[in-house]
Each structure stands twice: as structure tokens, then as C-alpha cells.
Amino acid sequence: MKLQTQIPLEPISGQLDYSSKILMLGSCFSQNMGAKLDYYQFQTLQNPFGILFNPLAIDNLLQKALNKYEYLEEDIFRLNGRWHCFDAHSNLSSASKEELLKNLNIALTRTNQFLREASHVFITLGTAWVYQHEKSNQFVANCHKVPQKEFGKHLLNIDEIRGSLQSIASAIEEINPDTSIVLTISPVRHLKDGFVENQRSKSHLITAVHELLGVLPLGIKGFYFPSYEIMMDELRDYRFYERDMVHPNSLAIDYIWEKFKEVLVSKDVEEVMEQVAEIQKGLAHRPFDVGSEAHQKFLKSLTQKIAYIKSKYPFMNFGNSS
């Protein structure tokens, strides 16, 4: 008896391994998959500007990184005792304008440098709804609790989204024509926009992504990973959501991660991933008696395992325990 419809999946060409360098951009779901890749010690750069929900925000980041833009005081503003930038998530906001500018420019430099070497760029689109700051005429990545009356709200149409995605692909091709782009739609529902509005938004994103994949620049490989479809069709039950009934819970994230591995991660690295997981579990272990002989033996064994795997993969970082 089948109690679930399953989405057919096929591995992509050029799957991830430990030589891959993966740039993760987009909504909080890209953070979920990025956290899994980090746990297994893949080489990643995650959302240097924080979570970005719409394609215009991602395009803006890449264009400024590519053009070596420098943020100045005129690009930021102060509200409620903190300095903010409309291009970045509030995680980068700071009580010091100097610190914010420094972190913004460091993030642009890191993005530029990492993109030049990236084997894969993983982009998760969350919404087609965008907010335009009326005074500056700027489409923002985050409103930073600026009064809503200062913004106009706009649903990007399919042509606008496709144009933004083409701009992203062209920027990537210019700096690194050998990379692969993996696009996905976030399964997180943006219900603050409205139930019908959320569905309109997701449908615009899905259509635009698939139109883009048919016209990618020569040399760029493009793939679609069906995160949204897996959540909607295979996990169509509220037990797979957090208490807010909007975000996938840890069980759903683990389930989609298994599908992600099936499609995107080479089976050749499974053994290394198991070794990394064993080390991570060892580092998380909390002993009853830190001075016991058994624990000292455990620590010695763990140190040896870390030294062995780092001899093969020097970029791995297990914190102070390494």
C-alpha cells in the first residue's frame, strides 16, 4: 500500500564532494541545507548578507560584489539606536555605523572571492513579493521595522523574476563560467502576504526559474531541486511544520536533506561524511566524569580521528578541539 506520492529524482551531473566550494544564497531554507553541509564540513559560504528572500536582493548582492562596490555612510541609516542597510538582513545591523560599513564591505569582498572559485551556487527563492522604499526608490532586502507606510509593495511578475535571474546567471558566468547553479523554491510559506498571495508568489517563482533554465548562458550548468514540491506533496501534513505552521520542522528538514543528498551529493564521499559525523557526535558528548580514565581515552581517540581526517582535508575546522 502506498501512503505517499514520491517525486522522481535524478542525480545531477557534477555532484558535490569535498573539493566542491558551495555558495549558498537566499531564504532561510538555504540556511537549513547550508547548516547540514557545514555539519559535514563541506566548503561553504552561506548568505554573507544574511537571509535574502527575493531575487532582486540576491541580484543586487552579486552585482555589487562583482563590481567591487564600496558601502559608504550614505548607504546606511540609523533607527532605534542601531545602524541598518536596506541591502542586508538585520543580522548585520550594528550599534556602530563604522562596524556595519566594515562588515558590509567585508561581505562583498568575501562574496567576490568565493564566487571566483565556487563549483556550485545554490540559490533558494522565498518570495516574489518585494518592498520598495518610496523615498529612495530602492527595492529592499529587509525593511528593518521601518514604518510600512514608507514602502510600496509589489508582486514581481514572471518576466521581472526571469530578468533578475538572468542577470544573476550572467554575473556568475562573467566571474566563473565553469560553475553550476542549483535553484530551488523555499518550502517556507509567506503567509503574512496572504494565503492566495503566497501561492501566486510561489507560482511566479517556479515558472520564472524553469523558463530561465532553458536559456542559461553558454557554459553555465543549471539544475532545479524541488524543495517546495517535496514539502507540498511528500510531506503534506502539519506534523512536518513548526508550531507557527509556516516553517518546516527538524523532521521535515532532515527528510529533505536526505533527498538533497540523493540528488546533489556524490556517494563517493559517504564514508568521509560518516567519519565527520562520528567526530561531531564525539565533540558534542558531555561526560559524567571529565577526569576519568575512560574519558581521557575517548579524548585521545577523538583527537587522533580529527588529526587523521584533517591530514586529508586540511580545510576542515572542528573548533578548538582540532
Q: Are residues 124 and 44 in the same domain?
A: yes
Structural domain contains residue 5: no
158-162 contacts at long range (C-beta below 8 A, 24 or more positions apart): 158/204, 158/207, 158/208, 158/211, 159/208, 161/55, 161/128, 161/204, 161/205, 161/208, 161/209, 162/208, 162/211, 162/212
State the average pLDDT over residues 2-24: 93
Q: Are residues 288 and 206 in the same domain?
A: no
pLDDT at residue number 24: 97
Q: Are residues 259 and 122 in the same domain?
A: yes
Helix then strand then coil, % of the chain, to nearest 5: 50, 15, 35
Provide the percentage of residues in the chain whose pLDDT is more than 90. 86
Q: Are residues 173 and 207 in the same domain?
A: yes
Q: Are residues 169 and 117 in the same domain?
A: yes
Q: Are residues 290 and 203 in the same domain?
A: no
Q: Are residues 110 and 245 in the same domain?
A: yes
Beta strands in 66-218 (DSSP E): 77-79, 82-84, 120-125, 129-133, 138-140, 151-155, 180-185
pLDDT at residue number 218: 53
- Is the pLDDT at 322 greater than 50, yes or no? no
pLDDT at residue number 136: 92
Distances from the Cα of 59 to the Cαs of 85, 151, 313, in angstroms? 16, 20, 33
Structural domain contains residue 11: no
Q: Are residues 161 and 171 in the same domain?
A: yes
pLDDT at residue number 294: 80
Structural domain contains residue 89: yes
Beta strands in the chain (DSSP E): 21-26, 43-46, 77-79, 82-84, 120-125, 129-133, 138-140, 151-155, 180-185, 221-224
pLDDT at residue number 197: 95
Q: Are residues 155 and 294 in the same domain?
A: no
State the average pLDDT over residues 106-125: 97
Confidence of residue 320 (pLDDT cuts 50, 70, 90): low
pLDDT at residue number 130: 97
Give the CATH number of the domain where residue 126 resides: 3.40.50.1110
Confidence of residue 233 (pLDDT cuts 50, 70, 90): very high
Q: How far apart are CA 203 and CA 207, in angstroms?
A: 6
- Is the pLDDT at 2 greater than 80, yes or no? no
* Domain housing 230: 21-265
- pLDDT, tens digit, for every residue of 133-173? 999 999 999 999 999 999 999 999 999 999 999 999 999 99
Q: Are residues 53 and 91 in the same domain?
A: yes
Most distant CA pair in the chain: distance in Å?
Answer: 67
Beta bridge partners of 84: 77
- Is the pLDDT at 112 greater than 60, yes or no? yes
Q: Are residues 159 and 96 in the same domain?
A: yes
State the average pLDDT over residues 79-105: 97
Q: How far apart are CA 75 and CA 103, in angstroms?
A: 13
- Of 19, 47, 18, the closest CA to residue 35 belongs to 47
Confidence of residue 211 (pLDDT cuts 50, 70, 90): very high
Confidence of residue 217 (pLDDT cuts 50, 70, 90): low
Provide the percentage of residues in the chain whose pLDDT is more than 70. 98
State how many domains the chain has. Answer: 2
Structural domain contains residue 65: yes
- Of 261, 255, 225, the closest CA to residue 239 belongs to 255
Structural domain contains residue 227: yes
Check if the beta carbon of residue 65 is closer than 8 Å to that of residue 111.
yes
- Of 81, 29, 68, 23, the closest CA to residue 48 belongs to 23
- Least confidently predicted of 27-31, 50-54, 256-260, 264-268: 27-31
State the average pLDDT over residues 209-234: 87
Q: Are residues 73 and 170 in the same domain?
A: yes
